[in-house]
Amino acid sequence: MSLGFLEKARSVGGPDAIRTHDLRLVKATSFQLDHGPIDGVILIFIRYASAYKINSIFMGFDIMKKEKDYDLIVVGAGPAGMTAGMYSVRSGLETLVVEKGIGGGLSNEAPVIENYPGFKGIGGMELAEKMKAQAAEYVAIKELEEVKKIELSEKEMELVVFTEKDSYVTNAVVLSTGTKHRRLGAKGEAEFLGRGISYCATCDGFFFKGKPVIVVGGGDSAVKEALYLKNIGCEVTLIHRRKKLRAERYLQKNLEEAGVHILWNSVVKEIKGDKAVRSVVSYDKESEIEDEFPVEGVFISIGEEPVNKLAAQMGIEMDKNGYIIADKSQRTNLERVYAAGDITGGVRQVVVACAEGAIAATSAYNDLLELSTK
Ligand code: NAP
């Protein structure tokens, strides 16, 4: 196995030396492309023979021959992935972050984040943009490029990441694919998606100013969505299936103070409309009374589901809810495959995702370093 940076680290020592040496090898590799492999090899030999130990030259030679593109590829550019990318490059690994949408993940949709240290209150999108700008100083983030498949290469200990546009060979992978919104399953939900039904108040709330809307759910997200919509001037009703909210106390207090109307013990049976949503049919489980009332917007916020297709395809162990099982070092059951962020379940908070991304990248660095010294 070729370990790019890490083998060079062994031969020349120290992070600064690694970077300089790597740049020279990149230049030599481009020479090889222009002038053919033999000339390239001779050039490398002449150029480095006096400067480095002989084994270092053969490592460089190996780098020229192999198809490996990266030491580490991070799949998903939410807070976990962006942090992993940044830590990985800073530790000296050749790294790429690949993202199917635009970076930021679901944090983009948080109306406000009040518990990310250093910011008393910041919009989710603004925080994600700040993270992206910082990460991009270090690592290339390929957006709008979905990873379709990850395979163990026939070449020993290499992984091939296939996207819809390209394929990349890497020594290690961090999966930070996050979660997606859970669907309610009510009649009319699919039909009116984008025509009054939304999963993101910050994205779509603006269109419902001054209009009656409902928010479905009782967790942190639902309460935050309800507060956001109330603040921008919507007439908000929260519908929750139980008599107790799951959301943190502080948010519940804010909800009460904002005077958001709550329908307890109720579920949405149907969403009705013509070209757009016009009403919902709710069912009170306690009184067993069905009611239909006019609304123009339905914001569904009933939790998330892991985006685990890649993990399943790779044979990564998951828990009964489909979240990747990772140890404290973010290692999965597959060697050199790590998981970070919401895809690992647990406490789903931006600060936790960032921490897991940092840990995953550090574990990858340590594992690759250890392999390179074997
Ligand atoms: P969540 O905590 O899983 O809450 C989902 C809510 O939707 C629950 O109240 C649940 O009801 C309800 N629900 C689930 N399935 C339903 C269905 N089929 N029909 C009706 N209601 C249904 O999800 P979340 O609020 O999206 O939060 C996800 C994670 O992100 C959590 O860990 C949360 O702490 C975190 N988060 C944190 C913040 C923050 O500012 N601290 C903000 C957003 C999210 P039951 O209560 O009856 O189960």
What DSSP element (H or E) covers 212? strand 212-216
**Does residue 202 sit in the same domain as residue 294?**
yes
pLDDT in tens, 297-346: 999 999 999 999 999 999 999 999 999 999 999 999 999 999 999 999 99
Residue 211 within a domain: yes
Can you tell me the mean pLDDT for 75-83?
A: 98
> Ligand 1 centre and the CA of 301: distance in Å?
7
Q: Which residue has its alpha carbon closest to ligand 1 atom 7?
A: 302
Residue at 189 is within a domain: no
Which of 300, 329, 348 is the endpoint of a domain?
300
Q: Do 76 and 148 sit in the same domain of this protein?
A: yes
Examine residue 188 and state whether it is found in any structural domain, yes or no. no
* Same domain for 319 and 269: no
* C-alpha span between 163 and 173 (Å, rounded): 14
Pairwise CA distance, residues 208 & 182, whole Å: 22
Most ligand 1 atoms within 8 A of CB, residue of 113, 127, 179, 220 to mutate: 220
109 Cα–ligand 1 center, Å: 15
The reply to whether 187 falls in a domain is no
**Averaged over 7-11, what is the pLDDT?**
45
Specify the residue with its C-alpha closest to ligand 1, atom 9.
218
Cα–Cα distance for residue pair 174/74, rounded to 1 Å: 5
Distance from residue 252's CA to the centre of ligand 1 (Å): 13
Whether 224 and 203 share a structural domain: yes
Measured in residues, the chain has a length of 374
For residues 364 and 320, membership in a common domain is answered with yes
Q: Closest ligand 1 atom to the C-alpha of 302?
A: 7
Q: Are residues 209 and 277 in the same domain?
A: yes
Task: State which residues form the domain around 95.
Answer: 70-181+304-372
Within a domain: residue 309?
A: yes
Determine the pLDDT at residue 305: 96
Q: Do residues 280 and 346 both lie within one domain?
A: no
Same domain, 175 and 315: yes
How do strand 261-263 and strand 235-239 relate by DSSP bridges? parallel
pLDDT tens, residue by residue, 253-287: 999 999 999 999 999 999 999 999 999 999 999 99
Whether 218 and 364 map to the same domain: the answer is no
Structure tokens at 183: 């669907």
If one residue of 246, 269, 347 were mutated to test the ligand 1 pocket, choosing by the most ligand atoms within 8 A of its CB, it would be 246
Ligand 1 centroid distance, CA of 247 (Å): 7
DSSP per residue, 90-155? HHT--EEEE-SS-TTGGGGG-S-B--STT-SSB-HHHHHHHHHHHHHTTSEEE-S--EEEEEE-SS
Does the pLDDT of residue 54 top 80, yes or no? no
Alpha carbon nearest to ligand 1 atom 11, residue: 218
Q: Which of 271, 300, 329 is the last residue of a domain?
A: 300
Cα distances (Å, whole numbers) of residue 324 to 115, 127, 176, 244, 342: 25, 26, 10, 29, 9
- If asked whether residues 281 and 215 sit together in one domain, one would say yes
- Tell me how far the alpha carbon of residue 312 lies from the centroid of ligand 1, in angstroms: 24
CATH at 323 = 3.50.50.60
Least confident among 15-24, 170-179, 283-292: 15-24
Residue nearest ligand 1's atom 41 by CA: 220
Protein residue with least CA distance to atom 24, ligand 1: 303
pLDDT band at 67 (very low <50, low <70, confident <90, very high): low
19: CA distance to ligand 1 center in Å?
Answer: 45
Identify the pLDDT of residue 129.
97
Tell me which residue has its CA closest to atom 22 in ligand 1: 302
| Rounded Cα gap, residues 212 and 192, in angstroms | 16
- Within-domain flag for 148: yes
Residue 313: inside a domain: yes
- If asked whether residues 162 and 96 sit together in one domain, one would say yes
Task: State which H helix or E strand residue 328 sits in.
Answer: none
Say whether pLDDT at 223 is over 60: yes
Report the domain count for the chain: 3
CA distance 340 to 360: 6
Give the residues surrounding ligand 1 with Cβ less than 6 Å away. 115, 184, 216-222, 224, 241-242, 246, 248, 267, 301-304, 348-349
